[in-house]
Amino acid sequence: MGRLVWLIFAIFLAFSQKCQGKIEENDVNEGPFKVYRIVPTTGWQLEEMIRIFENADSEEADFWHPPSVVNQTVDVMVSPKNTRFFEKFLQNGSFPFEIAIKDLKKKLIEKEGDEKLSRFSRSGFSRSRRIFVEKIMRDGPGSGLVMGEYYGYATIVDWMKRIADRMPRLASILEIGRSAEGRGIFGIKLGHDDGRKPIVVIDAGIHAREWASIHTAMYFINLMANGHDSDPWIRSYFDNIVLYILPVLNPDGYEFTRNDRTNPRSRMWRKSRSQQRCAWDGQSTKCCHGVDLNRNFDFRFGEVGASRYPCSEIYHGESAHSEPETRAFANFLMNLGDRLKGYITLHAYSQLWIYSYSHRKFTYPANIEEIRNVAARAVAALGREFGTRYQYGTGPEIIYAFSGGSTDWATEKLRVKYSYTLELRPTYEEWNGFVLDKRQLIPTAKETWAGVKVVIDQIILEYRTKIARVFRQRVNAEALEKAEQRRISLKGKCSDESQSCLHWRSQNPDICRTSQSAMLRECPNMCDLCHLVLP
């Protein structure tokens, strides 16, 4: 059976290679892109799916849900030219499967609108509503964009710049570097920075197709920008922490997904858009763009859950931090020093709250109990908003093992205590996480903020506790220093009443301590107790 399955799969790959990874209009016209839901029920089937996942060309077979454990769903988007071959492969391997989406392009239009329509028409805005929105975008208040919408990268950057211009004492724009295609990687800094307060960093959009994560980061910025004057909780964040939010860490990939939004190959692009790399796959040389930036960090690089094949959606790059986006972000985090106390990266989807380490089961940082406790409280707070249920744990505990991720790198290399990867709505079992209904965008962001607040509040609590402890230590040290100075200044200014003081101490060297009351009366000078006698 194994040889037959691999023969079918070899045919599938060989046919895929004829396409040369191009996004061609006639490819879309030949038939629909389909999404297959597969459930490997045996160890052998799971191993076969893992092999395909690590070696398949992502432009021909794109895994939305990678294989992890037996009896857990695996979702794969297959291009029109390969659906017949892929189904034959599944049938010959006796894989249980169903077609979850029969026509992905139709589903994209249904959920996100036809690309020919204007942004406001796609949203169903009336003319009066459009005028109102345009006025807000032009005149304020604080943020100037309506939440519950997807926006282009240039619009997002302009929006953040307007916030910084209108809140110069509270916000500033930052550019951490340039992408492979030369775009600036922008973020916003929020808070009164006195050079000592703890820093929290939130990023999103490291995977291009995960639009809901980008909207969620924008929602956070919007809350902070508009809540300073009206929300005491948010005001306390401006006063007690410095918050950096980078809503699109992979701007090239994000813009690529927007250029041809109803073409599944474009819209479902995951990686960056760096220059093509080529590799021999056993039959021919294939060249593909991009790197999975969340496999490119310098933590157990290339060890597990990543691929060395450039056309794989989990291609880890030529070396750790080989990509301009990961280099820029790593340098940015390193320059924050030991003030960096929290790091959260937003992804979609599966409803997971992931902490380190994700390269191997039962491998944890030293302070895992505190990290796990905060994750549990964050998930509980999130769930109280709309009843959404998240799992929490390490990658291999709740989804799959992977290395080269940003949060594990921050935990290991930068010693960031609270470092989390958040996979937003919907659940792992659902198929539509990358094309989340717009009506779910604001609830998703709102509940995520409730969980993030738990992390921020814990960081503030620990910072205040540390400040209070340092203050007490300083006060105690100053008191001790004053007492010592007084003791020295008074020494010799009082006299011993008894002539036997030296004799008593020779008989009992510890007498000044054990009989302090008597020595205070009889031998204060010998026992160095003058400061207790004289006013």
Instruction: Give the pair of three-digit tokens for residue 450.
Output: 């409730």
Burial of 102-125, coded b for 16+ CB within 10 Å and e otherwise, reads ebbbebbbeebbebeeeebebbeb
Q: What is the CA radius of gyration of the chain?
A: 31
Query: Do residues 317 and 298 make contact, with C-beta atoms less than 8 angstroms apart?
Result: no
Q: Rounded to the nearest 10 degrees, what angle do helices 441-490 and 211-227 cross at?
A: 50
Active-site position among 423, 429, 430, 481: 423
Distances 254 to 73, 189, 272, 393, 526 between C-alpha atoms, Å = 27, 22, 8, 28, 80
In a 3-state reduction of DSSP, which class is residue 55? helix
Question: Cα–Cα distance between 491 and 8 in angstroms, integer?
Answer: 96
Omega before 141 cis (within 30°)?
yes
Nearest to 320 by CA among 294, 359, 338, 290: 294
- Judge whether 30 counts as a catalytic residue: no
Q: What type of residue sits at position 186? A: F
Instruction: Give the pair of three-digit tokens for residue 260.
Output: 């041809």
With vertex at residue 382, the alpha carbon angle to CA 381 and CA 384, rounded to the nearest 5 degrees, is: 65
User: What are the residues whose beta carbons fall under 8 Å from the beta carbon of 230, sequence distance 6 or more?
Assistant: none
Residues classed as catalytic: 423
